[in-house]
Chain A
Amino acid sequence: MNDTATPASVAETGRPAVRTPANYKSATKPIWCPGCGDYSVLSSITKAFSMLALAPEEVVVVSGIGCSSRIPAYTSCYGFHGVHGRALAAGTGVKLARPELTVLVAGGDGDGYSIGGNHFLHACRRNVDLTYVVMDNHVYGMTKGQPSPTTEPDWDSKLAPGGTGVRAFHPLVIALASGANFVARAFSGDPNGTADILAQAIRHPGFSFVEILSPCVTFRPEQRTWKENVHPAPVAETDDPARAARRVMTDDGFNMGVLYAGRRKPYPLGRRADPVGVAELEAEFAA
């Protein structure tokens, strides 16, 4: 990790935590459906920032499109509500240009795994020091309930009668195989536990991926039972990719916790070439 990239925690610096989670919330109120898990995810993100005593002006929250991608507007940090599926590209650019900032990229399963699926693979592979949070509700909520890449193949709905019949995408397996340096799963119904995991993810060098199961009570009301299904991962975190692979391949989809915390060297930051001005570019083309 670039030492200047992620501000140290309170424990490391001895600085008092002067900011409460509320300091990281903006005056803009969320318009998510009442009951949506994303409210708790917002709360967890602000708690994690508070735990790490990050200055709001040193944090950038970047998103794509979808219900969960509205999240930058609800924080008091810098924000970028980007193009569908391109949140990781924008977030990577921010981090490369301003390595001293903490970059948190957020979005949903449709934005991240379908429209932005290719960016997801390559962001894992590049291992730039940022944190990617996917609020996974197994459905496209904003566009009224189409199946997403993580939807179960037999989920029957008016928009997909009988289900899609297509095997669901396994984000943790893909992240690990593609080189993500930190892989975890959390549950929106456990906001304090999720905040702890997010704080670990932000502090961990390289690309950290946190999937947060976040029920959509409008289009997937049956997800209210997720609270009974989730459980702590029965094994401790590992830095061994082979063990982690076995773990996530046999995963039931409801294991909570840090499943992999690797030691890959992050993409080197602060290594850009000397800036080139517009006039110099024009001169090159004029020649």
Chain B
Amino acid sequence: MSAEREKAQAGAAVAEDRTGAVPQSIPALMAWALWLELDAAERYRELADAMEMHNNREVGALFRKMETIEGKHAESIMHSMEWTSPPPRPRGEAPWPGFEAPENVAHEDVHYLMQPWHALTLALKGEERAVRFFTALANESTVPAVQAAAREMAAEEQEHVDLVRAWLARVPPPDERWRDDPDPPRYLD
């Protein structure tokens, strides 16, 4: 990652990307990082199931692919920490703001007629939030090892950002009538 981009990221990471106590050790940081990935993988699995059930197979397949990516990231964290099973979710306030981990796509943001462009846009936002979160964590930490690990995590999330951006560039944006359903569940007039 270029120094310029790193600087831009650091600048983008502001107080709203972080909350709570800064993890003070590598195991503490990596436990949160693991749960961030596990939560994201679970959410993508739920979204993939929902889309497949509603016959939106293209978006379902895309969410399934994202589930795999997040799952692999979780596995790599487990491997690097030599954990054979996930440690319990750390107690106390999560180090990220809001109810959910930064990478999670909110359930209420999806639509049964959404197209790959929408799904990738949501995924991109999640990955960008994760970059800002780890960057902010690195900036706030006073423990050199935690700083370095958080920067490494931010760099890995940045790779995901680049991947999703490249993906998005190949997908046509939806036309304005993408929500039109000839037999909607709810008639408004």
Contact = CB atoms under 8 A, between A and B. Distances in A.
Interface stretch (B17-25, B107-115, B143-151, B155-163): B107-115
Nearest to B47: A34
Contacts of B42: 21-22, 43
Contacts of A21: 42
B46 A43 contact: yes
25 contacts: A29-B49, A29-B52, A30-B49, A31-B53, A33-B50, A33-B185, A34-B50, A34-B56, A35-B110, A37-B107, A37-B108, A39-B107, A40-B107, A158-B188, A158-B189, A189-B108, A191-B99, A191-B100, A192-B89, A193-B99, A215-B108, A217-B108, A219-B185, A227-B99, A227-B106
A97 interface: no
B60 to A, nearest CB: 10
B88 interface: yes
A224 B110 CA distance: 11
What class of interface size applies to chain B in its complex with A? Answer: 20 to 34
A30 B185 CA distance: 17
Contacts of B50: 30, 32-34, 39
Given A39-B46, A218-B185, A34 B110 contact: yes
Which of B50, B88, B107: most chain A Cβ within 10 A? B107
Interface string A1-45: 000000000000000010011100000011111111101100100
The 7 A-B pairs at the shortest CB distance, nearest first, are namely: A190-B99, A34-B50, A224-B108, A29-B49, A34-B112, A34-B110, A39-B46
A189 B47 contact: no
A145 B186 contact: yes
Contacts of B165: none
B66 interface: no
B79 interface: no
Interface in B131-189: 185-189
B107 A144 contact: no
A113 interface: no
Contacts of A32: 50
Interface string B87-113: 011000010000110000011111110
Given A29-B53, A144-B186, A217-B108, 12 more contacts: A32-B50, A34-B112, A35-B107, A35-B110, A37-B108, A158-B187, A158-B188, A187-B99, A189-B99, A218-B186, A219-B186, A224-B108
B89 to A, nearest CB: 7
B51 interface: yes
Contacts of A33: 50, 54, 112, 185
